[in-house]
Structure 1
């Protein structure tokens, strides 16, 4: 079956490794047919004071040029120029315009911040003990639904239940949160992804959880697959496992964003 990954990272952030060329070359060697290179879109110093979370603004042009060069060097693989854009809601201090985002063929929407707090940053993990999982999960999904219902140019919503990353779960059944998330995503016409990186965090489970993925499927939300690789050697990690997870949730096709902003479908064959 055709392998695709629509969520990957490089050394353009200080928490990633490998050049764009190394990433695309590794994907081609692994038999990947479509890769989206989706570096973290720049944040201001207020949100990224260590310049660790996102790509520096002054390197965006260099990043896009590197993708163009990798695309030309590897005609055997479709290379999409993308970015992962953080939803910051009313706290967003960037004056983003359509022109700023126009060079990107794919924009992933992510919620890494809850009320300015980067809740999935290992350096700030201790706050979970202070606030408690119940409140964080409720607020996370509230913010997630705000993001998916906004007019931001998100095409795919990344790692939808990132709140489970550190293996902290609420004391209550999260299904009502799942239902609201799926309803909002379906109404907005967005896609979600199965993000294979979750298996390698404390939660030991891909994003989203099987129950949430099945809820998205029942709501008619299209689904793609991203490895969220931060190293070239992880670019194709567990893609076929993600397809099996989708199949168990009831999906029969993987939806693949294309460079022209359209979508295509790949039949799941296991």
Structure 2
């Protein structure tokens, strides 16, 4: 019985469906748990309550989001277990902010994702002015290390997401990647096998098999996420994901409740 801990809904502005639509989709797919984890508000770009419409929920929407997750959890109790989560950006220098933000929200888990290097989004087609793919790659992995060390997150999202726009100069196993995975292990965070890479035409998930293998060898736990932005994508490509995890050597996956991780057999 698998879990899908990475899902989105209409509040972020680039997904469709209500939270309950995703939870019902998980029940139909036979998942044991569905995690609701929409994009948290963006704070580092200034006090504007909706600095990036179409990217994340407005700053003032978060309490209503948490309350709606609780209602969905209670309504579908007995059909599927609903976990309360959020996908949070991590930006260097914002450690205290993020630790405080999620501390009293009553969440089951928090995904920490590096989508921004300063004010530059990794999904931009063009590199920042005067930057190279190599130094962007280095900053991205150093920022991922800082996210793990911050203690604000339970799961590090889509570890090699920088490849989405071709900004990784070397998709192989570099010394900096090995150092980053060692930091993940020391910080006792989990990674996700995010299946959306297959749907985005990349031919592989996040992270790719070679990176996933380094995580396994260094003892970093893994969980599963579809990164679905439509209810019909809940649990997408999980059969292939399980085959990949088992090929690499994983026999367990991580589940969360109340920010506490437990390991379950990967059946």
Structures share fold, TM-score greater than 0.5: yes
Q: Structure 1's 215 and 134: CA in aligned 2 closer, same or farther, altered over 3 A? A: same
Deviations 1:146-182 (A, max 9, x none): 211223x200101011111124441584432321111
SS of 1:89's partner is coil
| TM-aligned CA deviation for residue 201 of structure 1 | 2.4
Note if contact 1:166-1:201 (Cα within 8 Å) is conserved in structure 2: no
Residue aligning to 2:262? 264
| TM-aligned CA deviation for residue 261 of structure 1 | 2.5
| TM-aligned CA deviation for residue 94 of structure 1 | 8.8
Measure, in 1, the Cα distance between the counterparts of 2:171 and 2:102: 41
Residue aligning to 1:131? 131
Residue aligning to 1:154? 153
Residue aligning to 2:37? 38
Residue aligning to 2:211? 212
Measure, in 2, the Cα distance between the counterparts of 1:215 and 1:198: 19
Measure, in 1, the Cα distance between the counterparts of 2:210 and 2:100: 35
Residue aligning to 1:80? 83
Note if contact 1:166-1:203 (Cα within 8 Å) is conserved in structure 2: no
Residue aligning to 2:27? 28
SS of 1:40's partner is coil
Note if contact 2:127-2:133 (Cα within 8 Å) is conserved in structure 1: no
Measure, in 2, the Cα distance between the counterparts of 1:93 and 1:255: 24
Q: Structure 1's 128 and 166: CA in aligned 2 closer, same or farther, altered over 3 A? A: farther
Residue aligning to 1:15? 14
Structure 1: 5+ residue stretches without partners: none
Q: Structure 1's 207 and 127: CA in aligned 2 closer, same or farther, altered over 3 A? A: same
Measure, in 2, the Cα distance between the counterparts of 1:167 and 1:99: 32
Q: Structure 1's 24 and 171: CA in aligned 2 closer, same or farther, altered over 3 A? A: closer
Measure, in 2, the Cα distance between the counterparts of 1:45 and 1:141: 19
SS of 1:127's partner is coil
Note if contact 2:156-2:191 (Cα within 8 Å) is conserved in structure 1: yes
RMSD: 2.2
Residue aligning to 1:71? 73
Residue aligning to 2:242? 243
| TM-aligned CA deviation for residue 249 of structure 1 | 1.2
| TM-aligned CA deviation for residue 138 of structure 1 | 1.8
5 Å-filtered alignment, 1:65-214, equals: 65-75=67-77, 76-90=79-93, 92=94, 95-96=97-98, 98=100, 100-103=102-105, 104-120=107-123, 124-127=124-127, 131-151=131-151, 153-171=152-170, 173-214=172-213
Note if contact 1:44-1:93 (Cα within 8 Å) is conserved in structure 2: no
Q: Structure 1's 128 and 207: CA in aligned 2 closer, same or farther, altered over 3 A? A: farther
Measure, in 1, the Cα distance between the counterparts of 2:245 and 2:169: 24
| TM-aligned CA deviation for residue 208 of structure 1 | 0.6
Residue aligning to 1:62? 64
Structure 2: 5+ residue stretches without partners: none
